[in-house]
């Protein structure tokens, strides 16, 4: 097994570093076909058009395994004799360990579906090199955008112009500096300048921002600083590993006290997204039953940050409208190149709250409470859902809804994130 692990690490190095492959010894040992299958599943065969390799050793050392196997059987996910999770899934549950004794649940996620990834890969080859297949890295390196990235000392708004990520629709220099300073797929340099990023690192960062900014948001706004995101554990190829949460949809049938607790947490998260110490305004472009998730201790977090936009209240957007509408291959890796950008000035502070009142809270709270209370809840939700043009009215309705929900919660061990503190303070 030790020899196999060394071979795998050699494959990882060669697959993500073409120059190393050119100088490798011809007598290097052949790799077992089973591991090649695993590398394809991880997306390592696509590097450096990938997210990163920071957690690959965990996969190869079998310290990340499918959920449901006992610790003594945690071997061989990358081997052909065990069936890999189906490729059409976006997210998989897994077990993660640091000591091979204690295991914890993690989510292993693709940035987009394998179908979209494959379609984007074909688009890169056909649009840039006019061939059906190609070296994705070689093709992307030739683009005008990436050549500008190679020459840049600092990540500036013009380098991300036209990318489809909502996070980058209205970028400020302060936000872009935070991305570079906290990019977790490279050794921490704590600098706003990109001197510590290799050409390979720059391509991976650009590719991630182009496909889905979810892992970047988890890195630059970490949970340990109080941000409502699951912990980013690392990436391997085109898979991201983060702390595990259950999607909110799993709680639509929950008991009234659980539903009240989650609804109140949801309103609190939205409030923090609009008002926080760093003066960033977060807004959703879309919400659904998988956008939010719940940890085993009952704490609600943002499970999927891919539809989060950010407006800097201090600096504002530093892209003009013409730059927002700029299009190239990086603009349409996972979306239609014809999709229109939303003007930064059109985003309202109550935008996310209205969507949550329309899409999520009714499913969570409908028919859970005695009639007089239920009627008030339904009335507040209806006003919130229809009140996009009445900011003051929405604020009042949400405040009354929160006041109504607070005493409906219970204080017991099911809500470990606030128990036993709730016994001694009304705050919880």
Residues 216 and 257 grouped into a single domain: no
How far, in Å, CA of 123 to CA of 132, rounded? Answer: 9
Residues 290 and 362 grouped into a single domain: yes
Is residue 409 in some structural domain? yes
Residues 286 and 391 grouped into a single domain: yes
Residues 387 and 278 grouped into a single domain: yes
Angle at the Cα of 257 from the Cα atoms of 251 and 262, rounded to 5 degrees? 50
Whether the per-residue pLDDT at 326 is higher than 90: the answer is no
Q: Which residue among 230, 263, 290 closes a domain? A: 230
How far, in Å, CA of 295 to CA of 149, rounded? Answer: 38
pLDDT score at 15: 41
pLDDT score at 40: 86
* Least confident window among 73-82, 273-282, 413-422: 73-82
pLDDT in tens, 179-204: 999 999 998 878 999 999 999 999 99
Is residue 326 in some structural domain? no
Whether the per-residue pLDDT at 101 is higher than 90: the answer is no
Q: Which residue among 230, 257, 272 closes a domain? A: 230
Instruction: Tokens for 392, please give them.
Output: 């003051």
* Residue of 176 and 424 predicted with greater confidence: 176
Residues 217 and 259 grouped into a single domain: no
**Mean pLDDT within 296-313:** 95
Is residue 160 in some structural domain? yes
pLDDT in tens, 48-68: 999 999 999 998 888 988 664
Whether the per-residue pLDDT at 343 is higher than 90: the answer is no
Q: Which residues contact 42 (CB under 8 A, 6 or more apart)?
A: 56, 59, 78, 236, 237, 238, 239
pLDDT score at 83: 53
Write down the pTM of the prediction: 0.86
Whether the per-residue pLDDT at 17 is higher than 60: the answer is no
- Do the beta carbons of residue 286 and residue 384 sit within 8 Å? no
- Do the beta carbons of residue 301 and residue 223 sit within 8 Å? yes
Whether the per-residue pLDDT at 146 is higher than 50: the answer is yes
How far, in Å, CA of 130 to CA of 113, rounded? Answer: 24
pLDDT in tens, 313-325: 999 888 766 666 7
Residues 136 and 219 grouped into a single domain: yes
Of the pLDDT bands very low, low, confident and very high (cuts 50, 70, 90), residue 87 is low
Whether the per-residue pLDDT at 76 is higher than 60: the answer is no
Residues 365 and 400 grouped into a single domain: yes
Is residue 104 in some structural domain? no
Average pLDDT, the chain: 85
Whose tokens are 């610790």? That residue is 71
Residues 199 and 252 grouped into a single domain: no
Is residue 63 in some structural domain? no
Structural domains counted in the chain: 2
pLDDT score at 243: 95
Residues 225 and 255 grouped into a single domain: no
- Do the beta carbons of residue 319 and residue 156 sit within 8 Å? no
DSSP per position, 209-235: HHH--HHHHHHHS-GGGT-SSPPEEEE
Of the pLDDT bands very low, low, confident and very high (cuts 50, 70, 90), residue 128 is very high
Whether the per-residue pLDDT at 81 is higher than 80: the answer is no
Is residue 222 in some structural domain? yes
Residues 270 and 403 grouped into a single domain: yes
Residues 260 and 404 grouped into a single domain: yes
Q: Which residue among 177, 196, 230 closes a domain? A: 230
pLDDT score at 264: 97
pLDDT in tens, 345-363: 788 878 899 999 999 999 9
pLDDT score at 69: 43
Instruction: Tokens for 294, please give them.
Output: 């719940």
Could you list the residue range(s) of the whole structural domain that residue 213 is in? Answer: 117-230
pLDDT in tens, 36-48: 547 888 999 999 9
Is residue 271 in some structural domain? yes
Residues 217 and 256 grouped into a single domain: no
* Residue of 81 and 249 predicted with greater confidence: 249
Whether the per-residue pLDDT at 174 is higher than 60: the answer is yes
Is residue 201 in some structural domain? yes
């Amino acid at each position: 097994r030790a020899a196999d692990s060394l071979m795998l690490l050699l494959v990882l190095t060669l697959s993500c570093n073409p120059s190393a492959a050119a100088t490798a010894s011809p007598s290097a040992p052949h790799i077992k076909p089973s591991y090649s299958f695993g590398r394809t599943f991880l997306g390592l065969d696509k590097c450096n058009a990938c997210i990163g390799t920071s957690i690959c050793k965990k996969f190869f050392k079998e310290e990340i395994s499918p959920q449901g196997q006992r610790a003594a059987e945690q071997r061989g996910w990358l081997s052909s004799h065990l069936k890999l999770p189906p490729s059409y899934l976006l997210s998989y549950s897994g077990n993660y360990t640091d000591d091979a004794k204690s295991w914890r649940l993690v989510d292993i996620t693709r940035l987009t579906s394998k179908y979209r990834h494959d379609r984007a890969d074909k688009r890169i080859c056909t649009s840039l090199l006019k061939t059906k297949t190609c070296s994705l890295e070689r093709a992307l390196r030739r683009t005008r955008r990436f050549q500008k990235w190679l020459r840049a000392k600092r990540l500036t708004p013009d380098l991300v112009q036209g990318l489809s990520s909502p996070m980058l629709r209205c970028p400020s220099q302060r936000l872009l500096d935070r991305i570079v300073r906290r990019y977790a797929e490279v050794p921490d340099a704590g600098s706003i300048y990109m001197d510590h990023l290799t050409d390979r690192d720059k391509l991976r960062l650009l590719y991630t921002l182009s496909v889905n900014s979810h892992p970047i948001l988890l890195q630059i706004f970490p949970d340990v600083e109080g941000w409502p995101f699951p912990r980013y554990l690392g990436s391997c190829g085109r898979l991201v590993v983060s702390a595990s949460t259950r999607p909110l949809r799993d709680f639509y049938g929950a008991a009234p006290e659980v539903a009240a607790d989650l609804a109140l947490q949801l309103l609190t998260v939205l409030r923090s997204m609009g008002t926080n110490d760093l003066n960033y305004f977060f807004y959703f472009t879309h919400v659904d039953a998988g956008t939010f998730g719940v940890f085993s201790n009952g704490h609600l977090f943002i499970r999927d940050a891919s539809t989060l936009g950010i407006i800097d209240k201090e600096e504002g957007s530093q892209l003009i409208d013409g730059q927002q509408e700029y299009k190239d291959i990086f603009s349409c890796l996972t979306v239609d190149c014809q999709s229109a950008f939303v003007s930064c000035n059109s985003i309202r502070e109550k935008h996310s709250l209205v969507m949550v009142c329309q899409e999520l809270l009714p499913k969570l709270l409908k028919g859970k409470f005695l009639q007089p209370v239920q009627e008030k809840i339904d009335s507040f939700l209806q006003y919130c859902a229809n009140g996009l043009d009445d900011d003051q009215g929405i604020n009042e309705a949400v405040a009354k809804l929160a006041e109504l929900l607070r005493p409906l919660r219970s204080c017991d061990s099911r809500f470990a994130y606030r128990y036993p503190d709730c016994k001694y303070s009304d705050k919880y």
